[in-house]
Amino acid sequence: MSEIEGQCLCGAIRFRLSGGLRNVVVCHCSQCRRWHGHVGAYTRVAKVDLKVEGDVAWFRSSELARRGFCRGCGSSLFWERLGTDMVSVAAGSLDEPTGLRTTLQIFAEDAGDYYEIDDRISVRPPRSAGA
């Protein structure tokens, strides 16, 4: 795969992704909706295949994860599950063409009441208690 580049809205943070990227997953959880102002849409890459120029600020959004953003313009750029070697990258921050497709929706049971789930995209079933 060739490299894909991206940036925040003001351009203070630029990044390059190489290696294998996952297709885009749309997250309907309340944290993603608040963070993005709507659903979150992310690809994912190994941390070693992400090269960042600029100073990413990080917000610890839960016990399991943190979110990376630009201090200048506030663009939400990254989601990282702590203790893993992968990082999710906001699909809207990528320069086109990406060659990616949206293939999955998660936390659809948490979707906002102001929009409909896209039936053309697979939905992962809700996680059961203790899963």
**pLDDT score, position 115:** 96
For the stretch 34-67, pLDDT in tens is: 999 999 999 999 999 999 999 999 999 999 999 9
For the stretch 71-113, pLDDT in tens is: 999 999 999 999 999 999 999 999 999 999 999 999 999 999 9
Amino acid residing at 29: C
The domain defined by 4-113 folds into 2.170.150
| pTM of the predicted protein model | 0.91
14 token code pair: 């630029």
Q: Where are the domains of the chain?
A: 4-113
| Residue count of the chain | 131
45 token code pair: 């890459």
**pLDDT score, position 127:** 66
> If DSSP codes are grouped into helix, strand and coil, which group holds residue 120?
coil
Q: Exposed, middle or buried, 16 (CB in 10 Å: 0-12/13-18/19+)?
A: middle
> If DSSP codes are grouped into helix, strand and coil, which group holds residue 4?
strand
> If DSSP codes are grouped into helix, strand and coil, which group holds residue 127?
coil
